[in-house]
Structure 1
Amino acid sequence: MATHLDLEEQEQLDQLKHFWATWGTLISSLLTIVLLGLAGWNGYQFWQARQATQASALFDAIETAARGKDGQRLEQAFSDMRAKHGGTTQASQAGLLVAKMQEEAGKLDLAKEALNWVASSGSDAGYKAIARLRLSSVLIAQGDYDQALEQLNFEFPPEFGATVADRKGDVFSLLGKREEAIAQYKLAYKGFEPSVEYRRLVEIKLNAMGVRPEENTSDLAKDAGK
Structure 2
Amino acid sequence: MKGLLIKDFKLMLMQKNFFIIIIVVACLISISSQDPTFMIGFITLILSLFTVSTISYDEFDNGYPFLLTLPFSRKTYVLEKYVYGLILGTGAWIVSVMICSLMLIVQGKPVTSDMLIGAFVILPMFLVIESLMIPVHLRFGGEKGRYALIACVGVLVVIGFVVMKIVEIFHIDVLPLILAIDALGPVMFMVILLMIGFLIMLVSLKVSLSIMNKKEF
TM-score by shorter chain over 0.5 = no
Larger Rg: 1
Higher RCO (Cα < 8 Å, 6 or more apart): 2
TM-score (norm 1): 0.26
